[in-house]
């Protein structure tokens, strides 16, 4: 389908974005690549992007561009999933998780170009049905990963001033603060139709994509369009256990890179690389009941405290503009 006269909507976080600069770059891309009218929509604290994106899709926009941090991108993606409208991403946050995992440019000018001159890619989109400490229930959508433990603690422990000054390097300090506690929680969990099991763990992370921050491939096998959830359980008892975990993750990253280089893209269930401190599983649905309330993380943001969660995915339910 030709890009001629296609309509786009820019949903941007005014706190994160230089609006005048954004207007100039988008207007130039629209003219260069033959797109049509552009509509500009700000996010607010009460409406962070989901409702605006849903309205844009319903009105027939061919693309909605999210310009902001991880929260803005996730909100806009939530409003677009299941529609024919593509998501463009101009990453203006620190983590920029979905952009990193899809290999999108983090540079502003190249990101604008990727949105307006790129191609469509369909990826899976996930949802977490969580139970709060007061017993209330909520569905939260995400595209990258969700869970409890090191990813959530990293966000809680990240110093905002350090993040402004040093960007993703601030996460390294936060991760170092998040390694304590050993087997902190007891988890009653079930994968698909398998029998329920009980485990002690430090962290339980469910990924549609694998990269956390700073090129750390937390779940190296995860692919955003394979129709599969990747579940990671960490059980370190001490610093030696963390050394085993990070060593195993690094070794698997190297092994996967070598396999890809020789054209081997086969992926097995993952049990062959499990160790006492680190285990992987794959499936379509994962449920967990926690022994105590835990901070829950989705796509780089904490979303409150939960006691239970159930995670599933919709196969190739979100279209994203990526590099051509």
In tens, the pLDDT along 274-317 reads 788 899 999 999 999 999 999 999 998 999 999 999 999 999 99
Percent pLDDT > 90 in the chain is 66
d(CA 238, CA 181) in angstroms, rounded, equals 8
Question: Rounded to two decimals, what is the model's pTM?
Answer: 0.86
Higher pLDDT, 5 or 92: 92
Question: Is the model's pLDDT at 161 over the cut of 70?
Answer: no
Domain ranges of the chain: 8-117, 126-316
pLDDT tens-digit map of 75-109: 999 999 999 999 999 999 888 999 999 999 999 99
Supply the pLDDT for residue 82. Answer: 97
Question: Is the model's pLDDT at 250 over the cut of 60?
Answer: yes
Which tokens belong to 233? 């359980």
CATH classification number, 8-117, choose in 3.40.50.10330, 3.40.50.300, 3.40.50.10470, 3.40.50.150: 3.40.50.10330
Neighbours of 2 (CB within 10 A): 6
Q: What is the mean pLDDT of residues 167-179?
A: 53
Instruction: Give me the chain's average pLDDT, please.
Output: 87
Q: What is the mean pLDDT of residues 6-13?
A: 97
Q: Determine how β-strand 229-234 pairs with β-strand 278-283.
A: antiparallel
Q: What is the mean pLDDT of residues 9-36?
A: 96
Question: Is the model's pLDDT at 177 over the cut of 60?
Answer: no
Binning the chain into helix, strand and coil, the percentages to the nearest 5 are 30, 35, 35
β partners of residue 67: 12, 90
Alpha-carbon radius of gyration of the chain: 20
Residue 128's alpha-carbon distances to 214, 293, 304, in angstroms, are 25, 16, 13
β partners of residue 203: 234
Supply the pLDDT for residue 215. Answer: 64
Q: Give the position of tokens 């990826």.
A: 123
d(CA 120, CA 270) in angstroms, rounded, equals 30
Closest CA to 173 of 214, 223, 201, 208: 214
Supply the pLDDT for residue 256. Answer: 62
Supply the pLDDT for residue 271. Answer: 40
**Would you place residue 245 in the very low, low, confident or very high pLDDT band (cuts 50, 70, 90)?**
confident
* 3-state secondary structure at position 253: helix
Question: Is the model's pLDDT at 265 over the cut of 70?
Answer: no
Higher pLDDT, 155 or 221: 221
Percent pLDDT > 70 in the chain is 81
Per-residue burial over 194-229, b = 16 or more CB atoms within 10 Å of its CB, e = otherwise: eeeeeeebbbbbbbbbbbbbeebbbbbbbbbbbebb
* 3-state secondary structure at position 129: strand
Does domain 126-316 match CATH 2.60.200.40? yes
């Amino acid at each position: 389908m030709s890009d001629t006269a296609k309509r786009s909507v820019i949903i941007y976080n005014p706190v994160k974005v230089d609006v005048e600069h954004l207007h100039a770059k988008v207007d130039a891309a629209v003219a260069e690549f033959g797109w049509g009218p552009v509509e500009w929509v700000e996010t607010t604290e009460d409406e962070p992007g989901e409702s605006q994106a849903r309205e844009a899709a319903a009105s027939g926009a061919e693309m909605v561009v999210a310009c902001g941090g991880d929260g803005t991108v996730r909100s806009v993606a939530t409003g677009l999933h299941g529609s024919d409208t593509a998501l463009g991403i101009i990453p203006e946050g620190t983590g920029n998780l979905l952009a990193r995992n899809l290999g999108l440019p983090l540079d502003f000018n190249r990101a604008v170009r990727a949105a307006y001159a790129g191609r469509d890619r369909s990826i899976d989109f996930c949802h977490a049905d969580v139970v709060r400490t007061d017993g209330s229930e909520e569905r939260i959508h995400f595209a990258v990963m969700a869970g409890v433990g090191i990813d959530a603690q990293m966000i809680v422990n990240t110093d905002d001033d350090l993040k402004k000054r040093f960007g993703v390097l601030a996460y390294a300090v936060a991760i170092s603060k998040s390694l304590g506690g050993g087997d902190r929680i007891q988890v009653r969990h079930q994968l698909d139709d398998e029998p329920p099991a009980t485990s002690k763990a430090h962290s339980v992370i469910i990924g549609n994509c694998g990269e956390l921050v700073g090129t750390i491939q937390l779940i190296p096998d995860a692919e955003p369009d394979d129709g599969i959830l990747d579940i990671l359980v960490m059980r370190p008892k001490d610093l030696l256990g963390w050394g085993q975990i990070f060593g195993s993750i690094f070794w698997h990253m190297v092994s996967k890179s070598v396999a890809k280089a020789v054209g081997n893209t086969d992926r097995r269930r993952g049990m062959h690389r499990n160790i006492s401190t680190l285990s992987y599983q794959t499936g379509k649905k994962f449920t967990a009941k926690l022994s105590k309330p835990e901070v829950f993380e989705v796509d780089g943001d904490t979303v409150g405290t939960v006691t239970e969660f159930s995670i599933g995915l919709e196969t190739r339910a979100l279209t994203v503009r990526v590099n051509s």
